[in-house]
Amino acid sequence: MKWARVRSKLGMGALGLLLGLSTAGDLYAVQAEAGQGARLVTVSRAAKRSKAKPSTAVSRAQMEMAQQMARNAYALGRQLEARQRVALMTRLLYTMRPEVMAAEKKEWAEELFGLAQQLPSGDAAEAAITRDAAIATAAARLAVYDADRALDLLDALPSEGGRREDARTMAARLVFAVYLQHHGAPGVQTLLAHGRRWGEGGGFPYGASAVALARLRPNEDAAEDFFRQVLAIFERGQEGLFGVRDFASLLERAASMEAISEDSAEEAGRSIVGELGKLTEGQNREGALTEEQKRLMVAAVNDVRISSPKAYEEAKKNAPELLALRAEPQLAPQVEIPKVDEALQSAFHELAEAVRAHRKPDELRAVIGRGLRVVNDHYASGACAECLGMEAAPAAGAGGYAAKDAAPVADAGGYALSRSGGWRMVPDAQSWAVVSLAAFATPMTIATQLTGIKEPFWRAYFLAIAAGQVGEPTRVADPTARRVPGKEEAEPE
C-alpha cells in the first residue's frame, strides 16, 4: 500500500535535495593549486548566467592525486560491511567523469552489482526499493563501459512476475537507454530478445521498451512491428498488476509520440482492459483491493482512455466496474529541512573567508584542520549515531541534504534503518560542503588531512568526495544559505 508513496518520497526527496544544493546560497568559487589562494572577482547574477565559464585547469599531478585518492577510498572500503561498501562504491562510480579510471570503474560496477544483491530487502517497501536501486545503479554504470555484459547480468536476476517493480525492471530502464546509445536502432532486437526471456512468466520490461520505441519512431514500419511484438508478449496473459500498468504506460507513450497505428493502439487498449478484468476477479476472490492496487488500475484505465478511445468506450459498457474504481489521493511527502549545525556552518565560513583573503598555505591547512575536527566530532560525538548503526531511527531527515551528484542509491540523511525498514548512508550537506571546499582549496594535501576523520566509513566516503573535487574542481555552495534576487556572487576571474 505504501509502495508508491515510498517510491515518491525517495525520488522526490533526492531530486529536491540535489536541486537545493545546486542552487542554494553564496557560491565561493576558488581556483587552487597546491594550497595557493585564488583571486575572486564579483559579478552580478545576470552576468554570471550570460557567459560560459572555462573549467578550472587541472595538472597531471593533481589528476593522478585524485585517482589515487579514489583508489585509497576503495581500499578502505574493503574492510567495511555490505551496506557501507554499497554506499561507498556507488559514490566512487560517480566520482569524476565516466572515462576517468574507466577500467577500474567497470570492475567496481560489476562488484557492486553482486554486493548489492546481498543487501536485505526485508518486508518493507522502502528497503526493497533501496536494494533494487543499488542493483540498478550498478547495472547502469556497468552499461556505460560494457552494455552487453550489463544485459547478461540482468538475465540472472529473479523476477517478481510483473506483480511489482523489481530490480531487473528498474535497472532495465537505465540499461536499455545506455545500450541504445552504444548500438543504435540495430540493438533494439537484442533488447527485445532479452525482454522475451525475462517475461516468460511475467515481468517484461515494458517501461524500458519505450526508449527503444522512441529510437525506432523515424521508421514507422519498424516502430509498428516492434510494438506488435511487445503486444504479443503481453497478450500471453502472464503479467501481474504492475506489469499491466507498465504496458499501459508504454501504450500511452507510443500513442502520444504517434509511433503506432490507431488499430494497434485500440487492440492494446482492449487487451489491457481484459487483463485488468481477470486480475480484478482474482483479487476479489482473495480479498479487497488495496489502495496501491486501485491506483495502478486507475492509472492503467486512464492510459487506455487517452490512447484507445474506442476500447475505453467499449469498457464503459462491458466492464463498468473498472471505470468505477476510485483510489484515495496520494499526498505529497513532507520534506523536513534539517537544522543548521552552527559549528559546521562556522567552519565553512571560516574556510571560505580564508580562501578569499589569500591566506598562506600553512594557514589554510590550519583552518582546514579545525574544520575537519568539527566534521569528525559531528560523526563521533553521537550527534549522528544513527548514521552508523542498525538501530531504528526516524524515517526522514536524519543528517541533512543529499549533496550534489548524489547517486541514485543515496538518500538524504545518514545511514539508518527507518521505521519503514529502509536504510541510507550519505553525509549531511554541511559536512560535505566543508570537505569539498577544503579539497578545492588544498588539493595536494587534503588526503593527508582527512586521516583526522576517525570512523573508517566516513573517512573513506569523504576521501571519495575529495577525490572528485581534486580531479574536477567545481564551485562549492553554502548549503545553509538562501539565494537572494540580485545578490552578487564571488567567482574566479
Are 434 and 460 contained in the same domain? yes
pTM: 0.78
Are 284 and 373 contained in the same domain? no
Are 296 and 349 contained in the same domain? no
Q: Is residue 268 part of a domain?
A: yes
Q: Is residue 232 part of a domain?
A: yes
Are 191 and 273 contained in the same domain? yes
Query: Roughly how many angstroms between the first and final C-alpha of the chain, as a whole number?
Result: 54
Neighbours of 316 (CB within 10 A): 11
Q: Is residue 135 part of a domain?
A: no
Q: Is 225 left (phi over 0), alpha (psi -120 to 50) or beta?
A: alpha
| Strand order, beta sheet including 27-28 | 40-43, 489-492, 27-28, 476-477
Domain that holds residue 58: 24-64+341-492
Element (DSSP H or E) covering residue 477: strand 476-477
Q: Is residue 448 part of a domain?
A: yes
291, 323, 355 - which closes a domain: 323
Euclidean distance between CA atoms 482 and 24, whole angstroms: 5
Query: What is the identity of the amino acid at 63?
Result: M
As given in the structure block, the three cell numbers for residue 352 are 571560505
Q: Is residue 237 part of a domain?
A: yes
Q: Is residue 108 part of a domain?
A: no
Are 369 and 228 contained in the same domain? no
Are 464 and 359 contained in the same domain? yes
Are 313 and 378 contained in the same domain? no
State how far the alpha carbon of 95 is from the alpha carbons of 146, 205, 431, 467, in Å: 18, 29, 17, 7
As given in the structure block, the three cell numbers for residue 469 are 573535487
Digitized pLDDT (tens) for each residue of the chain, 493 residues in all: 334 444 444 444 443 333 333 333 333 333 333 333 333 333 344 444 444 444 567 899 999 999 999 999 999 999 999 999 999 999 999 999 999 999 999 999 999 999 999 988 765 567 788 889 999 999 999 999 999 999 999 999 999 999 999 999 999 999 999 999 999 999 999 999 999 999 999 999 999 999 999 999 999 999 999 999 999 999 999 999 999 999 999 999 999 999 999 999 999 999 999 999 998 886 656 667 888 899 999 999 999 999 999 999 999 999 998 888 888 877 777 777 778 889 999 999 999 999 999 999 999 999 999 999 999 998 886 555 445 433 222 222 223 323 333 333 333 233 333 333 344 578 889 999 999 999 999 999 999 999 999 999 999 999 999 999 999 999 998 888 764 444 444 333 3
Q: Is residue 304 part of a domain?
A: yes
Q: Is residue 441 part of a domain?
A: yes
Q: Classify residue 492 by its DSSP letter.
A: E
Are 346 and 402 contained in the same domain? yes
Q: How many domains does the chain contain in total?
A: 2
User: 3-class DSSP state for residue 358?
Assistant: coil
Are 164 and 253 contained in the same domain? yes
Are 157 and 284 contained in the same domain? yes
